Chains A and B, each alone.
Chain A
């Protein structure tokens, strides 16, 4: 069938226990056979073939107990009334469906997929000729009748309020003429990168098995050993208790940068795996997912782990643990028992209603959610204070040393500095310090435009240094990070992309122009958290240079000082 022809749907009613039940049909022959088995004598077809959005809107209207006339007017369906007798022979359709299920149930289960996505995948796996339109529609219809596949349209019918069923977007849905269905139908432009969601494209949900980890390798869980400090163990215990407590649904783990959040969550994941849970770890950043995947694979031997991000090759794999960017989570629907969100305050998840909706939707109704962050937003702090949400706080780094406190210095105007022949005193001091200690440094600037002037100027000032600039769309981004890790680059000029999820030992940080709007409290705290993350080099220097003092800079410094003080207190308590 491919994409060439659109799948059309019809609406019919059947009488069960003196009640009329309205059904959707992609292929009426299957319905006739199915209802014959259920001892229903006839079905009444009440609509011609229409696009899926049309048919769904019609059914929803009929189910509100409106009269058929009113509904026909509302969704502009010509009056139709055909009675058809049911016929035997459902078994052939059922066999076909079972065969399809054998090879395709696992990659599709729990996902919300457009018909095109399903067909494209099936085409990749099989020869195109096998997939006739008749066959695809009968398979889907059988699944629908057996209540294993749910059908809806990508976008609601234009007469209702316009909502994209896949991403939940309302304001970026556009009504336009469509040559596929020949009507005017709506397209969602918010999630168009993942395939076109329209009123006339069916959106299917393959309902997952009851038992979550069925089909996963039967070999026993191997508990790899990893070291946790007593402080980390406290948090791990709290998280484990949260998993077993049936009344609790959400937990916030607030741990400072470099506290070892990922290791802390391992015992919880082990415990959930034993319970047979399906687990999702979502993060807004692709780099974080890429970094976590090998660590998880090392820790969870024998457990199938799927890592999903834009351009990932494991898109159709199934497993017990899923690591995914928040964008990829949009494809799942009521699938996970435990969702862990790492770096929940990072762009783009922070303040993005659609992504938050997507993550909430991926969770089962009785599932559990763990949020992890080093810098919770104001709103979340309030929630914690009001005890709306359970929280576990860890103010101490895993090596026990305090976080380096940033020094705040005022510098002259940037334009002036960029024309100056000799380096500014504090920059010079910082650079020589880095050189003397034979370490490396991140230099943060506020925007991409500033990178190249500063790289050039740095080269003029300190001609012996190796300096490179890096930004989000840099084609050599990965290679530059790799070179920085290998210590081939000493000074890396960067935008806020390196603010989180990066661990490099023996590194110092300089922020040039910390008064820019992009450097808010959370960002500055995260930037400070890049320093002193390993046991060998637990200290380092952090310097904020700014033309003027901003509230966020002061707040960030206070935040770190406060956390350090808290850490001292914790240590004392533990000793006693």
Chain B
């Protein structure tokens, strides 16, 4: 037999006056719960970081916890650099005032140009886990708004023709039910009006990167992407922007941009939601 669960609708129907009162309250003062922390939002716009004032659906307390990666950062990978700045003031400045971190100096051939919306602090770690692994997909509304703010700050003046995203392997996709990068990219594309193209395909199944170190990541990720044949003509000589959720060592982004450039893309940038910084 099929389980039939009955609901006590009597519980929902309160007495008439309180029902009317709550109804009118809702009409005039609609109550909203913060998507990130589930609490009722009282005010949102007293945040010191002005750029976050326009994000809807989250409360002030959560907005305060968002940390953008501010001024001294690596020109290539957006790594925050204020600690190393103090140690060696001028030696980092190369290439006409560009600040470059140690990692990017080693792989100078890689030509990453990455920007991230926020830093991957403990707060974001918890929320991204809630989004990715628990599957609370409505969080994509908040995260995509954060991406829009970052896009306007870093990429508005650049000539970007097309968005694309880091794909998931089909097994992982079946397990998770959605591709977080795709979801974020589609919402971003909706807000900024740049077409999105599903260009990449994951051909090698890799273990979860969050359990690997840098060397392993670089080894495992090699040759795990391919450009879809159907989208080959559309990417030639285009400036592309790859969207992903977390930038840790840059292994994934690096591999994706290598493949895309091989297939004929002109310039490849990347925009990620969170930047790990330890």
A positions within 8 Å CB-CB of B: 2-6, 24, 56, 59-60, 147, 150-152, 163, 165, 168, 174, 176-180, 187, 189, 192-193, 196, 198, 203, 205, 333, 353, 356-357, 360-361
Q: Are the CB atoms of A203 and B7 closer together than 8 Å?
A: no
Q: Is B181 an interface residue (CB 8 A)?
A: no
Q: Which residue of A lies closest to B140 (CB)?
A: A176
Given known A-B contacts A163-B7, A179-B173, A152 and B2 have beta carbons under 8 A apart: yes
Q: Are the CB atoms of B138 and A174 closer together than 8 Å?
A: yes
Q: CB < 8 Å: which of B4, B12, B178 contacts A179?
A: B178
What's the interface size class on B, roughly?
Answer: 20 to 34
Q: Which residue of B lies closest to A55 (CB)?
A: B2
Closest-CB distance, A479 to chain B (whole angstroms) = 19
Q: Which residue of B lies closest to A2 (CB)?
A: B175
Q: Are the CB atoms of A189 and B136 closer together than 8 Å?
A: yes
Q: CB < 8 Å: which of B4, B134, B137 contacts A193?
A: B134
Q: Which residue of B lies closest to A152 (CB)?
A: B3
Q: CB < 8 Å: which of A3, A24, A189, A357 contacts B11?
A: A357
Instruction: List, in ascending order, chain A residues with CB within 8 A of B178's CB.
Output: 176-179
Instruction: List, in ascending order, chain A residues with CB within 8 A of B2's CB.
Output: 24, 56, 59-60, 150-152
Closest-CB distance, B120 to chain A (whole angstroms) = 20
Instruction: List, in ascending order, chain A residues with CB within 8 A of B171's CB.
Output: 4
Q: Which residue of A lies closest to B173 (CB)?
A: A179
Q: Are the CB atoms of B136 and A147 closer together than 8 Å?
A: no
Q: Are the CB atoms of A356 and B11 closer together than 8 Å?
A: yes
Task: Report the separation of the CA atoms of residues A192 and B173 in the bound assembly, to the nearest whole angstrom.
Answer: 19
Q: Is B102 an interface residue (CB 8 A)?
A: no
- A and B contact pairs by CB, cutoff 8 A, 14 listed: A24-B2, A56-B2, A152-B3, A168-B5, A168-B7, A174-B137, A180-B175, A187-B137, A193-B134, A198-B177, A203-B3, A353-B12, A357-B7, A360-B8
Give per-residue flags for B160-200: 1 if the beta carbon is below 8 A from chain A beta carbons, else 0: 00000000000101111111000000000000000000000
Q: Chain B interface mostly helix, strand, loop or mixed?
A: loop
Closest-CB distance, B27 to chain A (whole angstroms) = 16
Instruction: List, in ascending order, chain A residues with CB within 8 A of B7's CB.
Output: 163, 168, 357
Instruction: List, in ascending order, chain B residues with CB within 8 A of A60's CB.
Output: 2
Task: Report the separation of the CA atoms of residues A174 and B135 in the bound assembly, to the nearest whole angstrom.
Answer: 12
Task: Report the separation of the CA atoms of residues A205 and B5 in the bound assembly, to the nearest whole angstrom.
Answer: 11
Instruction: List, in ascending order, chain A residues with CB within 8 A of B1's CB.
Output: 147, 150
Q: Which residue of B lies closest to A5 (CB)?
A: B174
Closest-CB distance, A184 to chain B (whole angstroms) = 12
Give per-residue flags for B6-40: 1 if the beta carbon is below 8 A from chain A beta carbons, else 0: 01100110000000000000000000000000000
Q: Are the CB atoms of B176 and A179 closer together than 8 Å?
A: yes
Greatest chain A CB density within 10 A among B2, B130, B134, B171 is at B2
Task: Report the separation of the CA atoms of residues A357 and B136 in the bound assembly, to the nearest whole angstrom.
Answer: 23
Instruction: List, in ascending order, chain A residues with CB within 8 A of B136's CB.
Output: 189, 192
Closest-CB distance, A85 to chain B (whole angstroms) = 25
Closest-CB distance, B5 to chain A (whole angstroms) = 5
Q: Are the CB atoms of B175 and A4 closer together than 8 Å?
A: yes
Task: Report the separation of the CA atoms of residues A198 and B177 in the bound assembly, to the nearest whole angstrom.
Answer: 10
Instruction: List, in ascending order, chain A residues with CB within 8 A of B138's CB.
Output: 174, 189
Instruction: List, in ascending order, chain B residues with CB within 8 A of A361's CB.
Output: 5
Instruction: List, in ascending order, chain B residues with CB within 8 A of A187's CB.
Output: 135, 137
Task: Report the separation of the CA atoms of residues A399 and B22 in the bound assembly, to the nearest whole angstrom.
Answer: 43
Q: Are the CB atoms of A4 and B174 closer together than 8 Å?
A: yes
Instruction: List, in ascending order, chain A residues with CB within 8 A of B174's CB.
Output: 4-6, 179-180
Instruction: List, in ascending order, chain A residues with CB within 8 A of B173's CB.
Output: 179
Closest-CB distance, A59 to chain B (whole angstroms) = 6
Q: Which residue of B lies closest to A147 (CB)?
A: B1
Q: Are the CB atoms of B175 and A151 closer together than 8 Å?
A: no
Q: Which residue of B lies closest to A203 (CB)?
A: B3
Closest-CB distance, B131 to chain A (whole angstroms) = 10
Q: Are the CB atoms of B134 and A196 closer together than 8 Å?
A: yes
Task: Report the separation of the CA atoms of residues A356 and B10 in the bound assembly, to the nearest whole angstrom.
Answer: 12
Task: Report the separation of the CA atoms of residues A356 and B7 in the bound assembly, to the nearest whole angstrom.
Answer: 11
Closest 4 CB pairs of A and B: A150-B3, A152-B3, A196-B135, A180-B177
Task: Report the separation of the CA atoms of residues A196 and B136 in the bound assembly, to the nearest whole angstrom.
Answer: 8
Given known A-B contacts A3-B175, A179-B173, A179-B179, A192 and B5 have beta carbons under 8 A apart: no
Greatest chain B CB density within 10 A among A177, A196, A333, A360 is at A196
Q: CB < 8 Å: which of A5, A152, A189 contacts B5?
A: A152
Give per-residue flags for B121-156: 1 if the beta carbon is below 8 A from chain A beta carbons, else 0: 000000000100011111000000000000000000
Task: Report the separation of the CA atoms of residues A2 and B175 in the bound assembly, to the nearest whole angstrom.
Answer: 9
Task: Report the separation of the CA atoms of residues A485 and B4 in the bound assembly, to the nearest whole angstrom.
Answer: 49
Instruction: List, in ascending order, chain A residues with CB within 8 A of B135's CB.
Output: 187, 192, 196
Beyond A4-B174, A174-B138, 5 additional pairs, beta carbon < 8 A = A165-B3, A176-B137, A180-B175, A189-B137, A361-B5
